[in-house]
Amino acid sequence: MNFFLTIVLDGLIQASWLFIVALGLTLVFGVLKILNIAHGSFYALGAYIAASTVTMVAARGLPPGVGFVAMLLSVALIAAAVGLLLERGLLKMFYGRDEVVLLLVTYAVFLILEDVTKLIWGVNPIYATQPYEMFGNLEFAGLYYVGYDLVLIPISALIGFAIWFGLNRTVIGKIVLAVIHNEEMSVSMGVRVNRVYAIAFAFGVLLAALAGALTAPKISMQPGLSSDVIILSFAIVVIGGLGSVEGAAVGAILVGLARAASVHLMPQAELFMIYLIMAAVLMFRPEGLFKRETARRI
Amino acid sequence: MKKDLHPLAMIALIAGVTLFGRVLPTWTLSLATIAASNALIALGIVVLARTGNVSFGQGLFFAAGGYGVALIASAWGITDAVAQVIIGAACGGLLGLVVGPLIARYSGIFFGMLTLALSMVFYGALVKSTALGGSDGFNVGRPTLFGLSFTDPREADFMLYAVSVIVTGFAGIGATILFRSEFGLASLAVRENNLRVEYLGISANRIISINFVTAAIFAGASGAFALMAQRHIDPQFAYWTTSGEFVFIAVLAGNQSVAAVFVASMALELVRSFSNLYLPNTWQLVLGVFLLGVILFLPRGIGSLWIRSRRKRSASAEAALTAERGATP
């Protein structure tokens, strides 16, 4: 029983940060219809910036709580700026082109960011473990957990709720939904779609970077991080349905559980399991578990 | 689709390029071998892309060809280069026959995602299998040709160069003939409107499946070349960044000209090796900027550099069509 509980809790901890990444990816796809390969790079960027901030704060002798807040703030600021800059400066030039071409544009951005992070932070692993200790250890049903890991679960639930609330219960959110459902109609109703695009993309980058910052204390940052993360978040959004918030949540929990289960039962089968689920979902429900059926447009 | 080049002229061109290898310096020989092998798999992607579907998982067939050759060669002691290419193509093709009909029902982004998922499943399985060396892979011996073994490294490199150029060249001729055929034109029609094709009494799924299997055969043969050139194989063959690179070449080339695929592949290898040499830490950055530049300034690929002038009218008509499509997603 305890064994089962371990898998579930580990799965939820994994799911919490995966959900934040996938949320960003699904939002960008919903609004801009771009499957963003560079999304993993924004995650890595957030993690690296967080590590630098945490190290800087710790060097001044400030408590880890300050480091935690400082890292979230600095990541949010830089990520929003990078997102706006990329959308306005680069992606804008390719709108109206084929979906696949846009995918390749983000692939190019992925390649570029991969080297930019290497140039700034080097190729050796970087650690930022100070905030990881700040919530102490907790005993839960006879098992010991690092407090930080458990705190991640409510944080990601809160972020998920905030996004859901923002989309469904505010005017700006309703406008974004309108653009998702029918862009042409929104334009003719006077929506400034360009602005919605920029905001949505910046938000997507922000979410990826935030997830990177939140996980930075748990992991070692090194090259290859971004391609590992993008491959997981692709699976999540495809399982849940591209462009769906609820789908991202369910997909993240499924992938988190699959990861945790394979780590405990069959190490190394992890990617295999996750992609098997993704392939199965695509075979039987290609639109994902949560996508509403739409009439085919020709 | 070069309308004015006769197949015999193409064969002469291949013979010329092969003989030209005698005077090339040794380092360019292995570079050209890799370029030809990559061109072969990218050609498969172009063949498939003519139906409007882009595969992001050609690494699946690339790895299937590579592992198939490595396993069969070590089990049966087959070292002949030509035999290995045939085995690789057969492995890729057989897997394509299984996967193709299943996958032909999907289109656009779902097609790409499903191919990616399948190649990652394969990658995951390969990493896990300790019998195949896990994530480290394993080494294989030097290939021979028609019973001759090559001890001089330069001769061995030239042999591989010649085989890869000839095979890729003939695949190119085959693809050109395919593009001009009724079947090739029907493939283009599937891209434009698959429902209408169905109403005309042609099965769109069948067309996509056949193109898919062709692409898989090319990818399997390409995997065999990569294996022979590196004499090593590992699960990285099936990883998504490997597949991404092949799509990169296909986009660079555009889908107008078979020759463009070779030019694009060679250009990519040259950019890679030169930036490896002079900018060792930033070659991905160079590659990314290069790709953005091509997409921005040559939206129809490198092939449009020499096709455009000749077929200006049809190109502008097609551009109008794509613009119209882009406006109504």
Residue B327 contacts A where some CB pair is shorter than 8 Å: yes
Q: How far is CA A60 from the centre of its chain?
A: 31
ipTM (interface predicted TM): 0.81
CATH architecture of the domain A2-284 equals Orthogonal Bundle (1.10)
Nearest alpha carbon to residue A16 among A267, A214, A238, A272: A214
B244 contacts in chain A (CB < 8 Å): 37, 107
Selecting from A183, A269, A271 the residue whose C-beta is nearest the C-beta of B120 gives A271
A183 contacts in chain B (CB < 8 Å): 329
- Confidence at B150, pLDDT banded by 50, 70, 90: low
- Looking at the complex, report in whole angstroms how far the Cα of residue A243 sits from the nearest Cα belonging to chain B: 13
- What is the value of pTM for the model shown? 0.83
The gap between the terminal CA atoms of chain B, to the nearest Å, is 28
**Domain-by-domain residue ranges, chain B?**
7-240
- Confidence at A23, pLDDT banded by 50, 70, 90: very high
Task: Say how far apart CA A220 and CA A200 lie, in whole Å.
Answer: 29
Residues A282-296 have pLDDT tens digits of 777 767 777 655 544
Q: Considering only alpha carbons, which residue of chain B is nearest residue A99?
A: B109
- Looking at the complex, report in whole angstroms how far the Cα of residue A244 sits from the nearest Cα belonging to chain B: 15
Residue B102 contacts A where some CB pair is shorter than 8 Å: yes
Collect all residues with Cβ–Cβ distance below 8 Å to A266 and sequence separation of at least 6: A273
In this complex, do B106 and A282 lie within 8 Å of one another by their Cβ atoms? Answer: yes
Per-residue DSSP letter, A291: P
What is the mean predicted confidence (pLDDT) over A182-192? 87
Per-residue pLDDT, A210: 92
Task: Say how far apart CA A158 and CA A137 lie, in whole Å.
Answer: 22
- Looking at the complex, report in whole angstroms how far the Cα of residue B128 sits from the nearest Cα belonging to chain A: 6
Checking if the pLDDT of B15 tops 80, the result is no
What residue has token string 């700006």?
A172
Q: Considering only alpha carbons, which residue of chain B is nearest residue A38?
A: B288
- Confidence at B329, pLDDT banded by 50, 70, 90: very low
A182 contacts in chain B (CB < 8 Å): none
- Looking at the complex, report in whole angstroms how far the Cα of residue A274 sits from the nearest Cα belonging to chain B: 8
- Cβ pair B41, B217 in contact under 8 A: no
Q: Considering only alpha carbons, which residue of chain B is nearest residue A268?
A: B128
Residues B215-259 have pLDDT tens digits of 999 999 998 888 888 878 888 888 888 888 888 888 888 777 777
Collect all residues with Cβ–Cβ distance below 8 Å to B314 and sequence separation of at least 6: none
Collect all residues with Cβ–Cβ distance below 8 Å to A137 and sequence separation of at least 6: A144, A145, A146, A147
Q: Considering only alpha carbons, which residue of chain A is nearest residue B122?
A: A272
Phi, psi of B310 (to 5 degrees): -75, -35
